[in-house]
Amino acid sequence: MLPYEMIDLAQSTFSNSTAVYAVFLSLVSGYLVVGYLVGMELTKTQVTILTVLFLYATLILIWAQSAYVFWGGYYSELARGDRAEVVMFSPKMWMPAVIAVGNLLTVAACLFFMWNVRKGQKNGH
């Protein structure tokens, strides 16, 4: 594969990563809005269904974004002429893990927010 083709492939995967992140942010925003507006009025079953679907969707998106970032970094490093063994230990290869941890912390914060809203319902706040 020519370097141009690898750079083009890297750009395509990074673009896909950006699109996946936009969907991730939409899900997070929707979950927070629902929690804020009607979280106290939802039954336990409704909150459980909403949360399971939220977790399912966001975990798939986190995995997809991390994969796109990984392969984008891999192809961009290969395009520079590095050997595949060297590429795997490039600092760029840590980026998918950093992004995944940040996104997982975001999901944890959303779950805490919903729990906090629901806790306020039980305490009468």
Angle, helices 95-123/44-79, rounded to nearest 10 degrees = 170
Share of the chain above pLDDT 90, in %: 62
- Inter-residue contact 95 to 73 (CB < 8 Å): yes
pTM of the model as a whole: 0.85
Domain extent for 43: 3-123
Tokens at residue 11, please? 């750009």
**pLDDT beyond 60 at 19:** yes
pLDDT (0 to 100) of residue 52: 97
Per the structure, the count of domains in the chain is: 1
What distance in Å separates the CA atoms of residue 125 and residue 116, rounded to the nearest whole number? 11
Residue 69 amino acid letter: V
- Inter-residue contact 41 to 54 (CB < 8 Å): no
